[in-house]
């Protein structure tokens, strides 16, 4: 049953604010108009705003609802790319790992990775040792997070008793980082907004506007309110990730991409009880098993994918591949499709390469294309390199367009400027004292306090400000649920969450990593969001039903061997 704790205002502030933002989009002429609210578009909007350009970004779904919430959630150099001799890419990624650790210490977390070596495996111990030494060197002797070490067979089995003992020769421990990809995208975008950018989700670019030979803007449609309009800009950026060629096709431009699909499966931690991230070496590629709260996710795959990226789904072949990999390395687990709690599929916007017969051989580098005049397309790269991609794009755009458009810009400052919530020196110390204060002053359990600081960084203070209105907001969404009620209010008020699924899947990760997918708290969350967003009683019910359907679709695979859809509910 719904309980209406507060009467919804006739027009909610958020709705009013959104209408104003849409009106601004149609009225102003922006220096830069960015299509795509994944990590690439968000990083470009932030860089542009910091350089003093007026920037607007539109996203047809929710922010990060494309590939940027469907990655392996690693900020890493990519050990395996050393093998392909993409040394420049590895060096750049390791440098960017260091930058992200500095500017978003709450979201990017160093983690130990265990790499077991088996007799007859694809890479011998000596080769791996050389590779890891090179990796440490490229990171500046491990950067801030530590150098690799050699482990004996016994040390490995001690650390991870589920590892197959037969043929195990020993292995390595090395360090990389994990990240909440959707929240990294959101924090990047919120930084852009703080610096003056305009950002709108659920607004789709439906066409490009021309003036002679030059692109001067776009046609757009508000997917929530149905309004259509046009927006003008000095430069338009196509940052639509795996959708890049769809927009380019509108202009008759040549393709840029060779997209590939990758999937992850989520198992409960009680089924696959790992203490560290474990690298799963296969003959064709390596996979990662990553512990995450009460769950462990495993992936990924790499297969060419030409369809609409929104339709990418886990299929039986993908799932068998991942489950086979799990069972080969951890034979006592005997995981089957029925053990899969959740899953996701994402499409890599890889740049087309000639003569790459295997998906894994397609470069992870990025490319920027100009054409027609006024339109820049950027694709490829990784979550890890988003900042560097944005910097390269803006350098090029400013050099070519700045004089003609009379821009006065500042130098790039994205490597030194903390991301939203990330202005923290010495994160561990900060987290400890903030969690202590939350436990003492607000009576929050230690794990909730730590979660708040990890998720929101310094912004957790603003959440507490919201909770001052009503002390019950500090209660969990449902009994045993790690997420607090105040987070639903905050998501709708401050984080542009427009649907219950936006909150459940991307503002929090309940949909993927909570054993109940947050369903116990879905009505509560819909009520809290509904109060802010002015949802009627029917709308609240509709949001809960849509979310339930999305969860059923996601878990259908595990129950019936059906596909897991990647798209929105």
Residue 57 φ then ψ, to 5°: -130, 135
What string of DSSP letters covers 67-115? GGGSS--EE---HHHHHTT-HHHHHHHHHHHHHHHHH-TTTEEEEEEEE
b/e map 462-480, b = 16+ CB within 10 Å: ebbebbeeeeebbbbbbee
Angle (nearest 5°) at CA 372 between 370 and 377: 40
| Residue (58 or 452) nearer to ligand FAD, CB | 58
Q: Is there binding between residue 349 and ligand FAD (CB under 6 A)?
A: yes
- For ligand FAD, what does the binding mask look like between residues 425 and 464, x meaning CB under 6 A? ----------------------------------------
Residue 72 binding ligand FAD, by CB under 6 A: yes
Residue 343 touching ligand FAD (CB under 6 A): no
Residue 515 DSSP label: T
Q: Select the span of 30-38, 44-52, 368-376, 432-440 touching ligand FAD (CB under 6 A).
A: 30-38
In this complex, which beta carbon is closest to ligand FAD, that of residue 204 or of residue 470? Answer: 204
| DSSP one-letter string for 48-64 | HHHTT--EEEEESSSTT
Minimum CB distance to ligand FAD, residue 498 (Å): 14
3-state SS, residue 462 = helix
Residue at token pair 């950018």: 197
Q: Which is nearer to ligand FAD, 18 or 540 (CB)?
A: 18
Burial class (CB in 10 A: 0-12, 13-18, 19+), 428: exposed
According to the binding rule CB under 6 A, does residue 74 interact with ligand FAD? yes
Distance CA 99, CA 459 (A): 20
Query: Considering only 17-25, 34-42, 333-341, 450-458, which stretch makes contact with ligand FAD by CB under 6 A?
Result: 34-42
Instruction: Provide φ and ψ at 318, rounded to 5°.
Output: -60, -50
Question: Quick one: tokens of 200?
Answer: 């709108």
Q: Is 289 in the site for ligand FAD (CB under 6 A)?
A: no
Piece of the chain touching ligand FAD by CB under 6 A; list 64-72, 320-328, 423-431, 450-458: 64-72
Q: Binding mask 297-336 vs ligand FAD (x if CB under 6 A, - otherwise)?
A: ---x------------------------------------
Binding residue (CB under 6 A) for ligand FAD from 77, 116, 171, 346: 346
Looking at beta carbons only, is 65 or 258 nearer to ligand FAD? 65
Binding part of the chain for ligand FAD, among 29-37, 149-157, 476-484, 526-534 by CB under 6 A, reads 29-37
Interaction of residue 35 with ligand FAD, rule CB under 6 A: yes
Q: Of 61, 131, 565, 569, which lies in the binding site for ligand FAD, with binding defined by CB under 6 A? A: 61
Neighbours of 129 (CB within 10 A): 15
Stretch that binds ligand FAD, among 36-44, 103-111, 128-136, 397-405 (CB under 6 A): 36-44
Asked if residue 381 binds ligand FAD (CB under 6 A), the reply is yes
- Find the binder of ligand FAD among 8, 66, 77, 565 (CB under 6 A): 66
* Cis-peptide, bond into residue 18, ω within 30° of zero: no
Q: Which of residues 527-566 bind ligand FAD (CB under 6 A)?
A: none
- Should residue 201 be labelled a site residue for ligand FAD when binding is judged by CB under 6 A? no
Phi, psi of 170 (to 5 degrees): 140, -160
Query: Measured in Å, how far apart are the chain's first and last C-alpha atoms?
Result: 22
Region near ligand FAD per CB under 6 A, out of 377-385, 406-414, 423-431, 499-507: 377-385
213, 373 Cβ separation under 8 angstroms: yes
Give the pair of three-digit tokens for residue 303. Answer: 């297969």
Structure tokens at 166: 């037969």
- Taking CB under 6 A as the criterion, the residue among 31, 33, 34, 41 binding ligand FAD is 41
Q: Which of residues 109-168 bind ligand FAD (CB under 6 A)?
A: none
Q: Which two tokens stand for residue 16?
A: 């009013």
* Segment contacting ligand FAD by CB under 6 A, of 132-140, 233-241, 425-433, 524-532: 233-241
Q: Which residue in 82, 94, 138, 205 binds ligand FAD (CB under 6 A)?
A: 205
Nearer to ligand FAD, 245 or 531 (CB): 245
Q: Output the DSSP codes for 249-309.
A: HHTTPPP-B--EEEEEEEEETTTS--SSEEEEE-SS-EEEEEEETTEEEEE---EE--S-G
> Binding string, 457-496, against ligand FAD, x = CB under 6 A?
----------------------------------------
Bond preceding residue 300 cis, omega within 30 of 0: yes
CA 22 to chain centre: 25
d(Cα 344, Cα 73) in Å, to the nearest integer?
A: 12
- Rounded Cα distance between 235 and 397, Å, is 8
Q: Which of 73, 25, 15 is nearest to 291 (CA)?
A: 73
Q: Which is nearer to ligand FAD, 272 or 362 (CB)?
A: 362
Quick one: which of 18, 51, 60, 80 contacts ligand FAD (CB under 6 A)? 60
Interface with ligand FAD: number of residues (CB under 6 A): 38
* Dist. CA 40–CA 36, nearest whole Å: 8
Which residue lies nearer to ligand FAD by CB, 231 or 491?
Answer: 231
The minimum distance between CB 321 and ligand FAD, in angstroms, equals: 13
Kindly indicate which of the ranges 18-26, 124-132, 378-386, 407-415 contains the residues binding ligand FAD, using the contact rule CB under 6 A: 378-386
| Residue ranges that bind ligand FAD, judged by CB under 6 A | 35-41, 58-61, 65-68, 70-74, 204-205, 239-243, 247, 262, 300, 346-349, 381-384
């Amino acid at each position: 049953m719904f309980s209406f704790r507060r009467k919804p205002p006739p027009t909610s502030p958020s709705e009013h604010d959104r209408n104003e933002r849409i009106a601004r989009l149609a009225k102003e002429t922006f220096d830069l108009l960015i299509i795509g609210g994944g990590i690439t578009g968000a990083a470009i909007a932030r860089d542009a705003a910091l350089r003093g350009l007026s920037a607007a970004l539109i996203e047809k779904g929710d922010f990060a609802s494309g590939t940027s919430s469907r990655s392996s959630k690693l900020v890493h150099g990519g050990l395996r790319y050393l093998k392909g001799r993409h040394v420049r890419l590895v060096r750049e990624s390791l440098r960017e790992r260091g930058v992200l650790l500095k500017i978003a210490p709450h979201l990017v977390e160093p983690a130990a990775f265990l790499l077991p070596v088996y007799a007859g495996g694809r890479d011998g111990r000596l080769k791996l040792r050389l590779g890891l030494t090179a990796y440490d060197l490229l990171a500046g002797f491990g950067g801030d997070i530590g150098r690799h070490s050699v482990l004996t067979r016994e040390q490995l089995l001690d650390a991870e008793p589920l590892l197959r003992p037969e043929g195990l020769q020993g292995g390595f421990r090395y360090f990389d980082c994990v990240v909440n990809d959707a929240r990294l995208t959101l924090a990047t975008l919120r930084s852009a907004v703080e610096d003056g950018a305009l950002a709108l989700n659920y607004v789709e670019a439906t066409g490009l506007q021309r003036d002679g030979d030059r692109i001067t803007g776009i046609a757009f449609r508000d997917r929530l309110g149905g309004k259509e309009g046009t927006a003008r800009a000095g430069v338009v950026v196509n940052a639509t990730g795996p959708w890049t060629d769809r927009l380019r096709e509108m202009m008759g431009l040549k393709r840029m991409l060779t997209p590939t699909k990758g999937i992850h499966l989520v198992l409960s931690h009680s089924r696959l009880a790992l203490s560290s991230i474990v690298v799963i070496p296969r003959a064709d590629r390596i996979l990662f098993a990553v512990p995450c709260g009460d769950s462990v996710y495993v992936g990924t795959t790499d297969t060419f994918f030409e369809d609409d990226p929104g339709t990418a789904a886990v299929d039986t072949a993908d799932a068998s591949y991942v489950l086979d990999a799990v069972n080969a390395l951890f034979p006592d687990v005997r995981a089957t499709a029925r053990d899969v709690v959740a899953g996701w599929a994402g499409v890599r916007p890889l740049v087309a390469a000639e003569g790459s017969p295997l998906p894994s051989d397609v470069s992870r580098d990025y490319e920027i294309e100009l054409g027609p005049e006024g339109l820049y397309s950027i694709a490829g790269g990784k979550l890890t390199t988003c900042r560097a991609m944005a910097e390269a794009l803006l350098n090029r755009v400013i050099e070519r367009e700045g004089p003609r458009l009379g821009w006065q810009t500042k130098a790039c400052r994205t490597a030194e400027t903390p991301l939203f919530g990330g202005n923290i020196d010495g994160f561990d110390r900060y987290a400890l004292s903030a969690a202590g204060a939350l436990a003492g002053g607000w009576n929050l359990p230690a794990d909730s306090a730590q979660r708040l600081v990890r998720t929101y960084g310094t912004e957790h203070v603003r959440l507490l400000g919201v909770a001052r209105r009503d002390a019950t907001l500090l209660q969990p969404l449902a009994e045993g649920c790690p997420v607090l009620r105040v987070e639903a209010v905050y998501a709708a008020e401050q984080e542009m969450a427009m649907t219950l699924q936006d909150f459940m899947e991307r503002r929090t990760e309940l949909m993927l990593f909570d054993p109940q997918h947050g369903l116990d708290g879905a009505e509560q969350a819909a009520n809290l969001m509904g109060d802010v967003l002015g949802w009627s009683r029917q709308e609240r019910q509709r949001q809960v039903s849509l979310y339930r359907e999305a969860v059923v679709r996601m878990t259908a695979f595990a129950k019936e061997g059906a596909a897991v859809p990647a798209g929105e509910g």
